[in-house]
Amino acid sequence: MVMSWLKVSDAFKAPVGSPVTIKGWVRTNRDSKADGGLCFVAVSDGTCFDPIQCVVKAAGNNATTNFPDVQKLTTGCAVEVDGTLVASQGKGQSVEVLASAVRILGLVEHPDSYPVSNKRHTFEYLREVAHLRVRTNTFGAVARVRHCLSMAVHRFFHERGFFYVHTPIVTASDCEGAGQMFRVSTLDMMNPPRVAPEDAKPGAPVDPAAPVDFSNDFFGKEAHLTVSGQLNVETYCCALSRVYTFGPTFRAENSNTSRHLAEFWMIEPEIAFANLQVDSELAEDFIKYLTKTVLDERPDDMKFFDERIEPGLLKRLQHVLETPFRRLPYTEAIKILEDAIKKGKKFEYPVKWGTDLQSEHERFLTEEHFKQPVILMNYPKNIKAFYMRLNDPGTDGAPGDTVAAMDVLVPAIGEIIGGSQREERLDVLDRRIEEMRLPAKEYWWYRDLRRYGTVPHAGFGLGFERAMMFLTGMQNIRDVIPFPRAPKQAEF
């Protein structure tokens, strides 16, 4: 592909004196009567944080023929500018484009009501104009960082010999057990087929109270959008050794928080022949790799986040890079929390071995007590999923059964990674399925992995948007994904 114009990001790197053509959208336009009339048109094409300033003259050698039209350009107009890259006479930019011609590609038809006019806007408002918010400093930066991180995810795993597995979006097994699911169906919702009693005569009236007959549905059984690629990716792990999946994930939970989406992206690596310790090391390396990459590759955007979104962000991330994550058994964490209570710390919810930690407890550990990312390990069996590997009795001096699970907690966001070593022993797995009253039949292929050459293996899930929040300082998850899907929110 040959393009005759220059990206703004490249224009900034071109030698002074270069002839350039740039194309983009007007960010700001100021004019002046000096030098017989000139306009300063800042143009952004989204390729980097800064727009480039184009100086357009009404008189002299570089006079443009349509100067009065250029004067009228407002924020959002699309333009194409020919000119020369010159050292800037003004402060605030090192180089600028001295324009020889400005072609107006698209005007803003009602500048008085342009939704992203040149002024401060709240994130709540910008969410209502998600199709235009990416033209702002913040959302442009978010979009570039998001891309940078997506690439880094693949590079991290590729460099370590992991294979990228496309796990299915639609799942016909109702056994993933990670929350409410969205149904996928082609049945007539108003009049679905019903299961007829065995002794029903042909043509008998349908019983509207009878269960829906999904054998007539598209997949011949109930189907849903996936809540996790883990079970599928485990199968590839048990053949390719190191694999990961990175795709959209769906939860139909009625969650109304700044940390939850109905549609989000999740990264799930799975490693064969590995235990929880190896799993946690991978998780730590991964988070540090993402952190380093975004600092190295998007310094312009990260500087903006540090200045305008979360003062101190860069310092915080530097600290993350330099400090080993704190590893801590759940049982130990309970002791720390109990000690804190003895010393006068007040929690809304009680702390008790065997119960799940509340948000406030996790935040205390990562934000107040350790002030750094913390990996909690070996949780009580009863609060974790069936597929997590049962530890030997007495692990960490725990008073009850634990499983080889881990949560990576980070300040401000809380849980960013959840993972575990998987139960590779068929008899133990079967006992767990039975204890939790899960439909054993549905797990036939998952159980097969334990019947045919079972191996220890482990993996985790990283919420991509939560990583975005952690690395940009953005406080609402709906602002780190282009078009957020949440309860009552699916516009665009």
Partner RNA sequence: UCCCCGAUAGCUCAAUGGUAGAGCGACCGGCUGUUAACCGGUAGGUUCUAGGUUCGAGUCCUAGUCGGGGAGCCA
Contact positions with RNA (CB under 7 A) in 151-180: 178-179
Nearer to RNA, 165 or 217 (CB): 165
Least distance (Å) between residue 2 CB and RNA: 31
Cα 334 from Cα 330, distance rounded (Å): 6
The answer to whether residue 74 forms part of the interface with RNA (CB under 7 A) is yes
Instruction: Indicate which single residue of 10, 80, 222, 253 sits in contact with RNA (rule: CB under 7 A).
Output: 253
Least distance (Å) between residue 434 CB and RNA: 20
Least distance (Å) between residue 39 CB and RNA: 8
Give, to the nearest 10 degrees, the angle between helix 464-472 and helix 276-297: 50
Q: Judged by CB under 7 A, which stretch of 133-141, 160-168, 271-279, 462-470 contacts RNA?
A: 462-470
Query: Secondary structure of 38-85 in the HEC alphabet?
Result: EEEEEEECCCCCCCEEEEEECCCCCECCCHHHHHCCCCCCEEEEEEEE
Closest CA to 391 of 406, 411, 412: 406
Instruction: Indicate which single residue of 11, 52, 55, 337 sits in contact with RNA (rule: CB under 7 A).
Output: 55
Bridge partners, 170 (sequence order):
225
- Residue 429's alpha-carbon distances to 275, 378, 402, 418, 426, in angstroms, are 16, 17, 14, 20, 5
- Residue 357's alpha-carbon distances to 41, 153, 361, 363, 414, in angstroms, are 54, 29, 6, 10, 11
Instruction: Indicate which single residue of 12, 40, 163, 370 sits in contact with RNA (rule: CB under 7 A).
Output: 40
Instruction: Indicate which single residue of 14, 19, 35, 339 sits in contact with RNA (rule: CB under 7 A).
Output: 35
Nearer to RNA, 368 or 448 (CB): 368
Least distance (Å) between residue 85 CB and RNA: 12
Which residues in the 106-145 window bind RNA by CB under 7 A?
A: 111-115, 117-122, 124-125, 127
Nearer to RNA, 195 or 309 (CB): 309
Bridge partners, 421 (sequence order):
458
The answer to whether residue 457 forms part of the interface with RNA (CB under 7 A) is no
Cα 78 from Cα 123, distance rounded (Å): 24
Least distance (Å) between residue 462 CB and RNA: 6
Which residues in the 392-451 window bind RNA by CB under 7 A?
A: 414-418
Least distance (Å) between residue 227 CB and RNA: 8
Query: Secondary structure of 221-290 in the HEC alphabet?
Result: CCEEECCCCHHHHHHHHHHHCEEEEEEEEECCCCCCCCCCCCEEEEEEEEEECCCHHHHHHHHHHHHHHH
Least distance (Å) between residue 183 CB and RNA: 17
Least distance (Å) between residue 457 CB and RNA: 17
Instruction: Indicate which single residue of 373, 403, 466, 472 sits in contact with RNA (rule: CB under 7 A).
Output: 466
**x/- site string to RNA, residues 292 to 321, per CB under 7 A?**
------------------------------
Residue in the structure block whose two tokens are 């948007």: 465
The answer to whether residue 182 forms part of the interface with RNA (CB under 7 A) is no
In the Cβ-directed half-sphere of 247, how many Cα atoms lie within 13 Å? 18
Q: 194 by DSSP, 3-state: which?
A: strand
The answer to whether residue 11 forms part of the interface with RNA (CB under 7 A) is no
Q: Judged by CB under 7 A, which stretch of 71-79, 236-244, 372-380, 428-436 contacts RNA?
A: 71-79
Which residues in the 363-382 window bind RNA by CB under 7 A?
A: 363
Residues 6+ apart with CB under 8 A from 233: 165, 167, 243, 244, 245, 268, 270, 459
The answer to whether residue 66 forms part of the interface with RNA (CB under 7 A) is no
Residue in the structure block whose two tokens are 């003004």: 90
Least distance (Å) between residue 129 CB and RNA: 9
Cα 153 from Cα 156, distance rounded (Å): 5
Least distance (Å) between residue 486 CB and RNA: 7
Q: Judged by CB under 7 A, which stretch of 35-43, 213-221, 325-333, 423-431 contacts RNA?
A: 35-43
Nearer to RNA, 456 or 459 (CB): 459
Cα 202 from Cα 224, distance rounded (Å): 31
Closest CA to 62 of 96, 28, 92: 96
The answer to whether residue 208 forms part of the interface with RNA (CB under 7 A) is no
Q: 303 by DSSP, 3-state: which?
A: helix
The answer to whether residue 237 forms part of the interface with RNA (CB under 7 A) is no
Which residues in the 338-357 window bind RNA by CB under 7 A?
A: 349, 356
Which residues in the 85-104 window bind RNA by CB under 7 A?
A: 88-93, 96, 98
